[in-house]
A = this chain, B = another copy of it.
């Protein structure tokens, strides 16, 4: 089969040697070189405009990322072609590392000790047990479910919100957003970005997080109303916020988020796709298409992810 790689973010030089080894009989090309137009599979992550034009034989659009809002939102998306999300075990593990690092940074006051260090101040904050804290997770899919289990193993209490009812061992699961947020000393956003989740973390929700709590947004910038977050930090209600994602990326130099003392931010690196752990998942879906089977982890366009 002919497989097109089309991404403004992922680099074909990292992927092609691994893909070619996993799929030795297939031919790979990198957009805009579409190899005569007979493309069977498109591998995409923030694809260039016009990627799908003229690809009449396309049988699968395989995302190289878990988040697919750039694909679902593309008005030039060919009708009837399935789109698959990538569930990369390396990316899921990386997200677990980041969320645990930030939960501990807040739980053990390390953000605060960094400012004490800047002031050369030797001062202690009260130490809490993990069992004194409840971590709330918005989104109980592959990421949220995995991370909930890791936090439970560290003895935190965990509450989780999802649109559809879920049951996870040891987790207080609810479809009532306000109920979950009221219980959440730290609120972690891991949702897909859809029409229903855009702006979900707004002033009303931030006010329900118990005082001295924190927000950890590792999903998409569009989930959080930035002005409302700044107000919740400035009022002293929230102790800290950890942000990896922004409405505009790279974050513009004039954004007040960069230098706010209550914000720790990173350049959308919470969890990167890892070619070594994901090429097997990509190859598996390509083999399924070759055998005429339904690919795994296809997008539900009605839900938006």
Q: Which chain A residues have a beta carbon within 8 Å of chain B's beta carbons?
A: 90, 93-94, 96-98, 100-101, 104-105, 107-110, 113-114, 116-117, 120, 122-125, 127, 129-130, 153-155, 249-251, 253, 258-259, 264-267, 269, 272, 274, 276-277
Contact = CB atoms under 8 A, between A and B. Distances in A.
Given A104-B100, A108-B101, A259-B120, A125 B93 contact: no
Contacts of A267: 113, 116, 122-124
Nearest to A109: B269
A100 B98 contact: no
Contact of A155 (B93, B154, B265, B272): B93
Contacts of A272: 124, 127
A240 to B, nearest CB: 13
20 contacts: A93-B129, A97-B107, A100-B100, A100-B104, A101-B101, A101-B110, A104-B104, A108-B269, A110-B266, A113-B265, A113-B267, A117-B258, A120-B253, A122-B249, A122-B267, A124-B267, A124-B269, A125-B269, A127-B274, A129-B276
A116 B251 CA distance: 12
B94 A127 contact: yes
B104 A97 contact: yes
A265 to B, nearest CB: 6
Contacts of A104: 97-98, 100-101, 104
A125 B266 CA distance: 11
A130 B93 contact: yes
A97 B130 contact: yes
Given A109-B269, A122-B267, 9 more contacts: A93-B129, A94-B127, A97-B104, A97-B154, A101-B105, A110-B266, A114-B264, A117-B265, A127-B272
